Structure 1
Amino acid sequence: MFVHDKTGRLYSPVTTKSRNYLTISMSEPSSYSMDQAYTEIIVVRHGETAWNANGRIQGHMDVELNEVGRQQAALLADRLSLEPEISAIYSSDLKRALETAETIAERCGKFEVIKDPDLRERHLGDVQGLLFREAAKVCPEAYSAFSSRRTDQVIPGGGESLDQLYYRATSSLQRIGQKHTGIYAICQRELELPKNCL
Protein backbone atom coordinates (compact mmCIF):
# COMPACT_ATOMS: atom_id res chain seq x y z
CA MET A 1 0.00 0.00 0.00
CA PHE A 2 1.48 3.31 -1.09
CA VAL A 3 0.48 6.80 -0.05
CA HIS A 4 1.17 10.09 -1.70
CA ASP A 5 -0.31 13.54 -1.15
CA LYS A 6 -1.45 15.31 -4.32
CA THR A 7 -4.53 16.31 -6.26
CA GLY A 8 -6.28 15.04 -9.33
CA ARG A 9 -5.23 11.76 -10.86
CA LEU A 10 -6.57 8.27 -10.23
CA TYR A 11 -4.37 5.24 -10.76
CA SER A 12 -5.06 1.52 -10.65
CA PRO A 13 -1.75 -0.40 -10.52
CA VAL A 14 -2.92 -3.99 -11.04
CA THR A 15 -4.80 -5.29 -14.08
CA THR A 16 -6.28 -8.76 -14.50
CA LYS A 17 -9.54 -10.20 -15.78
CA SER A 18 -10.97 -10.70 -12.27
CA ARG A 19 -12.37 -7.59 -10.56
CA ASN A 20 -12.66 -6.71 -6.90
CA TYR A 21 -13.80 -3.30 -5.71
CA LEU A 22 -12.67 -1.09 -2.85
CA THR A 23 -14.42 2.15 -1.99
CA ILE A 24 -13.51 4.21 1.05
CA SER A 25 -14.57 7.79 1.68
CA MET A 26 -13.01 10.07 4.27
CA SER A 27 -15.46 12.94 3.69
CA GLU A 28 -18.93 13.63 2.44
CA PRO A 29 -18.97 13.72 -1.37
CA SER A 30 -20.52 17.20 -1.32
CA SER A 31 -17.56 18.59 0.64
CA TYR A 32 -14.90 17.27 -1.74
CA SER A 33 -13.67 18.85 -4.92
CA MET A 34 -10.73 17.95 -7.14
CA ASP A 35 -9.15 21.32 -6.26
CA GLN A 36 -8.66 20.23 -2.65
CA ALA A 37 -5.66 18.23 -1.49
CA TYR A 38 -6.22 14.62 -0.59
CA THR A 39 -4.23 11.55 0.23
CA GLU A 40 -4.28 8.89 -2.45
CA ILE A 41 -3.78 5.36 -1.22
CA ILE A 42 -2.67 2.91 -3.89
CA VAL A 43 -3.55 -0.63 -2.84
CA VAL A 44 -1.58 -3.41 -4.52
CA ARG A 45 -1.69 -7.15 -4.19
CA HIS A 46 1.29 -9.25 -3.15
CA GLY A 47 3.06 -11.30 -5.80
CA GLU A 48 2.35 -14.97 -6.43
CA THR A 49 3.23 -17.67 -3.90
CA ALA A 50 3.64 -21.41 -4.41
CA TRP A 51 0.30 -21.80 -2.65
CA ASN A 52 -1.40 -19.48 -5.16
CA ALA A 53 0.11 -21.45 -8.03
CA ASN A 54 -1.05 -24.76 -6.49
CA GLY A 55 -4.55 -23.58 -5.58
CA ARG A 56 -3.97 -23.70 -1.83
CA ILE A 57 -5.99 -21.35 0.39
CA GLN A 58 -3.72 -18.93 2.29
CA GLY A 59 -5.70 -16.51 4.46
CA HIS A 60 -3.42 -15.65 7.40
CA MET A 61 -0.94 -18.46 6.70
CA ASP A 62 2.52 -16.90 6.34
CA VAL A 63 3.66 -18.04 2.89
CA GLU A 64 6.62 -16.51 1.02
CA LEU A 65 6.65 -15.33 -2.58
CA ASN A 66 7.77 -17.77 -5.23
CA GLU A 67 10.08 -16.76 -8.09
CA VAL A 68 7.16 -15.59 -10.24
CA GLY A 69 5.96 -13.47 -7.31
CA ARG A 70 9.39 -11.91 -6.93
CA GLN A 71 9.41 -11.04 -10.64
CA GLN A 72 5.91 -9.56 -10.32
CA ALA A 73 7.05 -7.45 -7.34
CA ALA A 74 10.05 -6.19 -9.32
CA LEU A 75 7.87 -5.24 -12.31
CA LEU A 76 5.41 -3.45 -10.06
CA ALA A 77 8.29 -1.68 -8.32
CA ASP A 78 9.53 -0.43 -11.70
CA ARG A 79 6.05 0.90 -12.54
CA LEU A 80 5.48 2.53 -9.16
CA SER A 81 8.90 4.18 -9.26
CA LEU A 82 7.37 6.45 -11.92
CA GLU A 83 4.80 7.77 -9.41
CA PRO A 84 5.60 11.21 -8.01
CA GLU A 85 5.86 11.92 -4.30
CA ILE A 86 5.22 8.55 -2.69
CA SER A 87 5.50 9.44 0.97
CA ALA A 88 4.94 6.15 2.79
CA ILE A 89 4.67 2.42 2.21
CA TYR A 90 2.48 0.24 4.42
CA SER A 91 2.19 -3.54 4.35
CA SER A 92 0.63 -6.48 6.06
CA ASP A 93 3.10 -8.23 8.31
CA LEU A 94 2.80 -11.48 6.32
CA LYS A 95 5.94 -12.47 4.39
CA ARG A 96 4.38 -12.38 0.91
CA ALA A 97 3.05 -8.85 1.34
CA LEU A 98 6.10 -7.59 3.20
CA GLU A 99 8.54 -8.91 0.57
CA THR A 100 6.45 -7.32 -2.19
CA ALA A 101 6.39 -4.00 -0.31
CA GLU A 102 10.12 -4.12 0.49
CA THR A 103 10.96 -4.73 -3.17
CA ILE A 104 8.88 -1.71 -4.12
CA ALA A 105 10.29 0.40 -1.27
CA GLU A 106 13.85 -0.29 -2.41
CA ARG A 107 13.04 0.83 -5.96
CA CYS A 108 10.93 3.86 -4.93
CA GLY A 109 13.34 5.63 -2.62
CA LYS A 110 14.42 3.17 0.05
CA PHE A 111 11.43 3.71 2.31
CA GLU A 112 11.10 1.79 5.53
CA VAL A 113 7.98 -0.34 5.16
CA ILE A 114 5.46 0.25 7.94
CA LYS A 115 3.93 -3.08 9.00
CA ASP A 116 0.25 -3.17 9.96
CA PRO A 117 -1.38 -6.53 10.80
CA ASP A 118 -4.78 -4.95 10.08
CA LEU A 119 -3.82 -5.00 6.39
CA ARG A 120 -3.74 -8.79 6.35
CA GLU A 121 -6.05 -10.72 4.09
CA ARG A 122 -9.20 -12.29 5.47
CA HIS A 123 -8.65 -14.95 8.13
CA LEU A 124 -10.19 -18.03 6.51
CA GLY A 125 -10.41 -20.28 9.55
CA ASP A 126 -10.38 -24.03 9.00
CA VAL A 127 -10.02 -23.81 5.21
CA GLN A 128 -6.59 -22.15 5.46
CA GLY A 129 -3.89 -24.45 4.14
CA LEU A 130 -6.32 -26.65 2.20
CA LEU A 131 -6.41 -27.04 -1.56
CA PHE A 132 -9.47 -25.40 -3.12
CA ARG A 133 -10.39 -28.65 -4.84
CA GLU A 134 -10.46 -30.60 -1.56
CA ALA A 135 -11.71 -27.97 0.92
CA ALA A 136 -15.42 -28.76 0.46
CA LYS A 137 -14.82 -32.44 1.28
CA VAL A 138 -12.32 -31.98 4.11
CA CYS A 139 -14.13 -29.14 5.95
CA PRO A 140 -17.66 -28.85 4.52
CA GLU A 141 -18.98 -26.48 7.21
CA ALA A 142 -15.99 -24.12 6.97
CA TYR A 143 -16.01 -24.27 3.17
CA SER A 144 -19.72 -23.45 3.08
CA ALA A 145 -19.11 -20.42 5.31
CA PHE A 146 -16.10 -19.41 3.19
CA SER A 147 -18.21 -19.63 0.01
CA SER A 148 -21.21 -17.82 1.51
CA ARG A 149 -22.25 -14.47 0.10
CA ARG A 150 -23.55 -13.42 3.53
CA THR A 151 -21.35 -10.62 4.80
CA ASP A 152 -21.93 -11.56 8.46
CA GLN A 153 -20.96 -15.24 7.98
CA VAL A 154 -17.90 -16.14 10.08
CA ILE A 155 -15.77 -19.12 9.10
CA PRO A 156 -15.31 -21.88 11.71
CA GLY A 157 -11.81 -22.13 13.12
CA GLY A 158 -11.35 -18.45 13.94
CA GLY A 159 -12.15 -17.12 10.48
CA GLU A 160 -13.57 -13.67 9.81
CA SER A 161 -16.83 -12.61 8.25
CA LEU A 162 -16.65 -10.22 5.31
CA ASP A 163 -18.04 -7.52 7.61
CA GLN A 164 -15.21 -8.09 10.10
CA LEU A 165 -12.64 -7.96 7.31
CA TYR A 166 -14.17 -4.78 5.92
CA TYR A 167 -14.17 -3.06 9.32
CA ARG A 168 -10.57 -4.09 10.05
CA ALA A 169 -9.22 -3.05 6.65
CA THR A 170 -11.14 0.21 6.31
CA SER A 171 -10.21 1.23 9.86
CA SER A 172 -6.56 0.74 8.91
CA LEU A 173 -6.95 2.73 5.70
CA GLN A 174 -8.64 5.55 7.59
CA ARG A 175 -5.82 5.63 10.17
CA ILE A 176 -3.28 5.76 7.35
CA GLY A 177 -5.17 8.53 5.56
CA GLN A 178 -5.51 10.59 8.72
CA LYS A 179 -1.81 10.22 9.51
CA HIS A 180 -0.84 11.94 6.25
CA THR A 181 -1.40 15.64 5.74
CA GLY A 182 -4.04 17.21 3.54
CA ILE A 183 -6.55 14.39 3.84
CA TYR A 184 -9.99 15.17 2.44
CA ALA A 185 -10.83 11.90 0.77
CA ILE A 186 -9.41 8.55 -0.10
CA CYS A 187 -9.90 7.97 -3.79
CA GLN A 188 -12.85 5.95 -4.85
CA ARG A 189 -11.34 3.53 -7.29
CA GLU A 190 -11.71 0.18 -8.92
CA LEU A 191 -8.97 -2.34 -8.19
CA GLU A 192 -8.45 -5.38 -10.34
CA LEU A 193 -6.86 -8.14 -8.26
CA PRO A 194 -5.69 -11.64 -9.14
CA LYS A 195 -8.45 -14.11 -8.37
CA ASN A 196 -6.06 -16.79 -7.11
CA CYS A 197 -4.25 -14.72 -4.43
CA LEU A 198 -6.20 -15.64 -1.28
Structure 2
Amino acid sequence: MDLPLLEKSLYEVDTADPIIIQGIIAKYAQQTTLKEESALRRLDVINKCFSKQSVEEILSCLEQQVISGNEKWITTAIKSIKTTSPISLKLFLLSIRKGRTEDLKQCLIREYRMISHVFRRTVSNDFYEGVRAKILDKDNNPKWEPTKLELVSNEMLEKYLTKLDEDEAWEDLQLPSQHGHTNPPIAKL
Protein backbone atom coordinates (compact mmCIF):
# COMPACT_ATOMS: atom_id res chain seq x y z
CA MET A 1 0.00 0.00 0.00
CA ASP A 2 1.28 3.42 -0.90
CA LEU A 3 0.51 5.20 2.37
CA PRO A 4 1.62 8.69 1.30
CA LEU A 5 -0.72 8.57 -1.73
CA LEU A 6 -3.56 7.20 0.39
CA GLU A 7 -3.03 9.95 2.93
CA LYS A 8 -2.96 12.60 0.18
CA SER A 9 -6.18 11.25 -1.36
CA LEU A 10 -7.94 11.25 2.01
CA TYR A 11 -6.87 14.84 2.68
CA GLU A 12 -8.13 15.94 -0.74
CA VAL A 13 -11.60 14.43 -0.41
CA ASP A 14 -14.10 16.83 1.12
CA THR A 15 -16.54 14.39 2.69
CA ALA A 16 -17.15 12.35 5.80
CA ASP A 17 -19.21 9.81 3.83
CA PRO A 18 -17.91 6.39 4.92
CA ILE A 19 -18.76 4.82 1.53
CA ILE A 20 -16.55 7.30 -0.33
CA ILE A 21 -13.76 6.97 2.24
CA GLN A 22 -13.91 3.16 2.04
CA GLY A 23 -13.70 3.43 -1.75
CA ILE A 24 -10.54 5.53 -1.54
CA ILE A 25 -8.96 3.11 0.92
CA ALA A 26 -9.94 0.14 -1.27
CA LYS A 27 -8.22 1.78 -4.25
CA TYR A 28 -4.88 1.63 -2.41
CA ALA A 29 -5.39 -1.63 -0.51
CA GLN A 30 -3.35 -4.69 -1.39
CA GLN A 31 -4.17 -8.31 -0.72
CA THR A 32 -1.88 -9.78 1.92
CA THR A 33 -1.05 -13.33 2.82
CA LEU A 34 -1.13 -14.17 6.48
CA LYS A 35 1.68 -16.22 7.92
CA GLU A 36 0.62 -19.56 9.33
CA GLU A 37 1.49 -18.49 12.90
CA SER A 38 -0.37 -15.16 12.64
CA ALA A 39 -2.84 -14.51 15.45
CA LEU A 40 -5.22 -13.14 12.81
CA ARG A 41 -5.76 -16.73 11.61
CA ARG A 42 -7.04 -17.56 15.10
CA LEU A 43 -9.33 -14.60 15.68
CA ASP A 44 -12.52 -16.67 15.63
CA VAL A 45 -11.30 -18.89 18.48
CA ILE A 46 -9.71 -15.96 20.32
CA ASN A 47 -12.92 -13.91 20.14
CA LYS A 48 -15.09 -16.89 21.05
CA CYS A 49 -13.08 -17.81 24.14
CA PHE A 50 -11.76 -14.50 25.41
CA SER A 51 -15.13 -12.75 25.19
CA LYS A 52 -16.43 -14.94 28.01
CA GLN A 53 -17.45 -13.21 31.23
CA SER A 54 -15.02 -14.88 33.63
CA VAL A 55 -11.55 -16.41 33.63
CA GLU A 56 -13.13 -19.76 34.48
CA GLU A 57 -15.36 -19.54 31.39
CA ILE A 58 -12.40 -18.50 29.22
CA LEU A 59 -10.40 -21.48 30.45
CA SER A 60 -13.33 -23.85 29.91
CA CYS A 61 -13.82 -22.58 26.35
CA LEU A 62 -10.12 -23.03 25.58
CA GLU A 63 -10.25 -26.57 26.95
CA GLN A 64 -13.24 -27.31 24.69
CA GLN A 65 -11.24 -26.02 21.73
CA VAL A 66 -8.44 -28.47 22.53
CA ILE A 67 -10.96 -31.31 22.43
CA SER A 68 -12.23 -30.07 19.05
CA GLY A 69 -8.80 -29.83 17.48
CA ASN A 70 -5.59 -29.55 19.41
CA GLU A 71 -3.73 -26.42 18.37
CA LYS A 72 -0.43 -25.85 20.14
CA TRP A 73 -1.15 -22.20 20.95
CA ILE A 74 -4.33 -23.18 22.82
CA THR A 75 -2.48 -25.76 24.91
CA THR A 76 0.19 -23.16 25.67
CA ALA A 77 -2.47 -20.60 26.66
CA ILE A 78 -4.19 -23.10 28.97
CA LYS A 79 -0.89 -23.99 30.65
CA SER A 80 -0.06 -20.31 31.10
CA ILE A 81 -3.47 -19.55 32.63
CA LYS A 82 -3.26 -22.52 34.99
CA THR A 83 0.19 -21.53 36.27
CA THR A 84 -0.53 -17.81 36.71
CA SER A 85 -1.71 -16.21 39.93
CA PRO A 86 -5.51 -16.68 40.11
CA ILE A 87 -6.02 -13.24 41.62
CA SER A 88 -3.84 -11.64 38.94
CA LEU A 89 -5.85 -13.30 36.17
CA LYS A 90 -9.15 -12.08 37.55
CA LEU A 91 -7.79 -8.62 38.30
CA PHE A 92 -6.40 -8.29 34.77
CA LEU A 93 -9.74 -9.28 33.21
CA LEU A 94 -11.61 -6.88 35.50
CA SER A 95 -9.23 -4.07 34.60
CA ILE A 96 -9.65 -4.64 30.86
CA ARG A 97 -13.43 -4.67 31.18
CA LYS A 98 -13.53 -1.50 33.29
CA GLY A 99 -11.10 0.27 30.96
CA ARG A 100 -13.50 -0.09 28.05
CA THR A 101 -15.91 2.40 29.59
CA GLU A 102 -13.49 4.76 31.33
CA ASP A 103 -11.69 7.82 30.07
CA LEU A 104 -7.90 8.06 30.27
CA LYS A 105 -7.89 9.78 33.66
CA GLN A 106 -10.12 7.11 35.19
CA CYS A 107 -7.94 4.36 33.70
CA LEU A 108 -4.73 5.87 35.07
CA ILE A 109 -6.22 6.31 38.55
CA ARG A 110 -7.57 2.74 38.54
CA GLU A 111 -4.24 1.30 37.41
CA TYR A 112 -2.37 3.37 40.00
CA ARG A 113 -4.65 2.13 42.79
CA MET A 114 -4.31 -1.46 41.64
CA ILE A 115 -0.51 -1.40 41.54
CA SER A 116 -0.39 0.46 44.86
CA HIS A 117 -2.40 -2.33 46.49
CA VAL A 118 -0.13 -4.91 44.82
CA PHE A 119 3.01 -3.28 46.20
CA ARG A 120 1.44 -2.72 49.64
CA ARG A 121 0.25 -6.36 49.77
CA THR A 122 -3.14 -5.22 51.01
CA VAL A 123 -4.95 -8.13 49.36
CA SER A 124 -2.37 -10.68 48.27
CA ASN A 125 1.35 -11.40 48.33
CA ASP A 126 1.30 -12.95 44.84
CA PHE A 127 3.48 -10.33 43.14
CA TYR A 128 6.30 -10.89 45.63
CA GLU A 129 5.74 -14.65 45.54
CA GLY A 130 6.06 -14.59 41.75
CA VAL A 131 9.30 -12.60 41.99
CA ARG A 132 10.61 -15.08 44.55
CA ALA A 133 9.70 -18.14 42.47
CA LYS A 134 10.78 -16.83 39.06
CA ILE A 135 13.69 -14.48 39.76
CA LEU A 136 15.17 -15.01 43.22
CA ASP A 137 14.92 -18.73 44.02
CA LYS A 138 14.21 -19.73 40.41
CA ASP A 139 12.27 -22.77 41.59
CA ASN A 140 9.37 -21.80 39.27
CA ASN A 141 6.99 -23.05 41.92
CA PRO A 142 5.04 -20.07 43.25
CA LYS A 143 2.59 -20.61 46.08
CA TRP A 144 -0.34 -18.44 45.03
CA GLU A 145 -2.86 -17.24 47.58
CA PRO A 146 -5.64 -17.89 46.91
CA THR A 147 -4.65 -21.09 45.14
CA LYS A 148 -7.66 -21.46 42.82
CA LEU A 149 -9.71 -19.17 40.61
CA GLU A 150 -12.93 -20.01 42.43
CA LEU A 151 -11.41 -18.85 45.73
CA VAL A 152 -10.89 -15.29 44.45
CA SER A 153 -13.84 -13.25 45.71
CA ASN A 154 -15.34 -10.14 44.17
CA GLU A 155 -14.58 -8.35 47.45
CA MET A 156 -10.88 -9.10 47.00
CA LEU A 157 -10.93 -7.70 43.48
CA GLU A 158 -12.92 -4.61 44.46
CA LYS A 159 -10.37 -3.84 47.19
CA TYR A 160 -7.74 -3.32 44.46
CA LEU A 161 -9.89 -0.53 43.00
CA THR A 162 -10.23 1.46 46.21
CA LYS A 163 -8.18 4.38 47.43
CA LEU A 164 -5.51 3.40 49.91
CA ASP A 165 -6.39 4.12 53.51
CA GLU A 166 -5.78 7.72 54.55
CA ASP A 167 -3.42 6.73 57.35
CA GLU A 168 -1.04 5.13 54.90
CA ALA A 169 1.87 7.02 53.37
CA TRP A 170 0.47 6.50 49.85
CA GLU A 171 -1.57 9.28 48.32
CA ASP A 172 -4.11 8.76 45.57
CA LEU A 173 -3.00 9.68 42.06
CA GLN A 174 -3.52 13.37 41.26
CA LEU A 175 -3.62 14.32 37.59
CA PRO A 176 -3.66 17.85 36.20
CA SER A 177 -6.99 19.03 34.85
CA GLN A 178 -7.54 18.96 31.11
CA HIS A 179 -8.47 22.51 30.22
CA GLY A 180 -10.41 22.75 26.98
CA HIS A 181 -11.12 19.00 26.70
CA THR A 182 -14.85 18.62 27.13
CA ASN A 183 -15.14 15.11 25.67
CA PRO A 184 -12.15 12.97 26.61
CA PRO A 185 -11.60 9.94 24.34
CA ILE A 186 -13.10 6.60 25.39
CA ALA A 187 -12.02 3.22 24.01
CA LYS A 188 -14.20 1.90 21.20
CA LEU A 189 -13.36 -1.77 21.80
Fold conserved (TM > 0.5)?
Answer: no
Larger strand share, 1 or 2? 1
Larger helix share, 1 or 2? 2
The TM-score, its normalising length taken from structure 2, stands at 0.27
The TM-score, its normalising length taken from structure 1, stands at 0.26
Which has the larger Rg?
2
